[in-house]
Each structure stands twice: as structure tokens, then as C-alpha cells.
Amino acid sequence: MSANVEIYTWSWCPFCLRAKALLTQKNIPFTEHCIDDDEAARDKMADRAGGKRSLPQVFIDDTSIGGCDELYALEQEGKLDSMVS
């Protein structure tokens, strides 16, 4: 069973696009929450992410792993595949 991966994004954010590209390249299914101009959704995201309001925010099985840099770091460290499988 694969992990539940969620990503909060803005449609025009280059870091969001980069994070989604990595997930797509690795064939990792994810649910995108595009929160353009939706402060209530951003507040909900920040609550889930321990107060972090930057985008993207990535969650694996409801655990906040951070943003684009953290996602790529997990990939470089060889940890991403085991977290999503």
C-alpha cells in the first residue's frame, strides 16, 4: 500500500512546480491542494505544518516533511522511496 502524499501549492509558484515535477517523475501519486488566494486554506495548511506558511508544503501520511528543498533532500538521501511505499 502506498503512502498518502499531499502537496499544498500556488499555481504560479516555481518551487511548487518543481516539487510536483519530482513526484510526477517518480510516479508518486499525490493530491494537490491549490490554495491560490485562499487564506482559510493556507491557515489550515499552516496548522498541519506546525505553523509553516511557505509553499509548497508536502505531507506524507499526514506528516509534514516541509517544502521543495526538503522533498529533494529526501530524494538525494535515498529516503523518499521508502517513505512513500
CB-count exposure of residue 19 (10 Å: 0-12, 13-18, 19+) = buried
Q: Looking at residue 16, which CATH number applies to its domain? A: 3.40.30.10
Structural domain boundaries enclosing 24: 5-84
CA distance 34 to 19: 13
Q: Reduced to 3 states, what is the DSSP secondary structure of residue 42?
A: helix
The C-alpha angle 52, 55, 58, rounded to 5 degrees, equals 80
Contacts of 17 (CB under 8 A, 6+ apart): none
pLDDT score at 2 = 84
Assessment of whether the complete model's pTM goes beyond 0.85: yes
Average pLDDT on 1-28 reads: 95
- pLDDT of residue 1 exceeding 80, the answer is no
pLDDT tens for residues 39-84? 999 999 999 999 999 999 999 999 999 999 999 999 999 999 999 9
